[in-house]
Amino acid sequence: MTEPTTEQLALRAKTLLTSIGAELPTSGTLPARTPISGGTLAYVTVDTPASAEAAIDRAATAFESWRTVPAPARARLVRALAALLVEYKSELAELVTLEAGKIEAEALGEVQEMIDVCEFAIGLSRQLYGLTMASEREGHRLMETWHPLGVVGVISAFNFPVAVWAWNAAIALVCGDTVVWKPSETTPLTALACHTLMRRAAASVGVDPDVHQLVQGEVGPTLVDDPRIALLSATGSVRMGAIVAPKVAARFGRCLLELGGNNAAIVTPSADLDLAVRGIVFSAAGTAGQRCTSLRRLIVHRSIVDQVVDRLTVAYHQLPVGNPLDAGILVGPLINERAFVAMQEALVHATSDGGEVIVGGERVDSVDHDAYYVRPALVRMPEQTAIVRHETFAPTLYVLAYDTLKDAIALNNAVPQGLSSSIFTLNQREAETFIAESDCGIANVNIGTSGAEIGGAFGGEKETGGGRESGSDSWKTYMRRATNTINYSDQLPLAQGISFG
């Protein structure tokens, strides 16, 4: 495994930011660390509660005029952003690799997802439809209209440092909202790059750049508590959501939560195993198991479980682990030491519960001991124990056996999280039963749990938080609904036939 020095990586990050037009702070206290070497690329200036409040104030002021701009005209800003994302796709993707440790293909895919959601939002700007309903009163028209909501606060996580922001920002902006973004403290440079591109896009179409604000550092509580944040979209841990949700609710604000996922795939006797193995390996090992949709539980029919485990073992032994900047690497580093420790502790728990580590789990030798490369782990479990029901954000896949489809679906549902799920089967009855009975926000057939398209609503149930982002009618979260009654008669009949006076 080749290992560039932190100094080389830092110089590359500076070059990439400069090419995008971002100015790297000359001083700061927030370290922008790279998991590739474990070293620090730069230091970023952090916000204080006062400066974060000032950013919210700028966004609130900008909202008053932005809300009056027609939605198709607001889309001009998103179109300009999409054009810049296309122009700087490779540069932004490389920054994602440097800060989040994603391999090139996944980093490029994440930026493409940003471009795709911008295109979706541009089309959406002409489709913010309401309804016309039949009124029970003669000479009356009953309808609903949708209006901009206000300032949207976005708190994003390290594992998708740019795509999740784009999901929220692109939709919110065409809906007439302004945005205040607090990225993960782990990925401040990619956020700086995106904010720069947004400001460049605004300047190119004559839009007030204050419609988008960036705040860095530990100022999440400021966004949570400020009543000017009409909607808080927060991606992170269940623990974070449990703190955020009641605080926002206490001030009668709105929350969009994307929290934990402990995703399962069922493999039935009729499954195409060639297809299933490919889908399983990508879902479990992709992004080093650090996707909220990563596959963590594999539920296989008892008659084929040994065969599936054998095929996965061969595939896992062949997975190249190493520097994500190198060609041919499929699994990059864990984000930090804490992630590595959590994985090791989970494996200890699993074996103490009677599990057997079939392959993986060990750290790959590294010259720089601040970088954490691990081989994805495949663990055979006798039952779904507490550690299996707990989400560990690392490439660990637990394998369980089942006897009936009812048992398999029960195992799928018997965890606190409810994000993504899938079934591999060529039996239509099994597929349809699974779709009807999986309690997750995403239920797939003959595809893994990860790799959601932007056209569908993304999100999950239970401890996943219930939020929906991206496609379908998720835009309604970013707007407020008004029911309108128009009387075009010269009478004043009351509803329900009431007579008054």
Q: What are phi and psi of 20, to 5 degrees?
A: -80, -20
For residue 132, the number of C-alpha atoms closer than 13 Å in the C-beta half-sphere is 3
> How far is Cα of residue 354 from the mean position of the Cα atoms in its chain?
33
Beta bridge partners, 212, equal 179
Q: CA dihedral defined by 432, 433, 437, 439, rounded to 10 degrees?
A: -50
CA angle at 113 for the pair 110 and 119, rounded to the nearest 5°: 155
Strands 377-380 and 396-402: parallel
For residue 316, the number of C-alpha atoms closer than 13 Å in the C-beta half-sphere is 26
The residues annotated with a catalytic role in the active site are 258
SS3 175: coil
Q: Hunting for tokens 């609903």 — which residue is that?
A: 144
Q: Exposed e or buried b for every residue in 26-49, given b needs 16+ CB within 10 A? A: eebebebbbbbbbbebbbbebbee
* Residue whose C-alpha is closest to residue 13's, from 206, 240, 190, 208: 190
* Residue whose C-alpha is closest to residue 234's, from 210, 260, 213, 252: 260
Instruction: State both tokens at 455.
Output: 């056209």
For residue 51, the number of C-alpha atoms closer than 13 Å in the C-beta half-sphere is 12
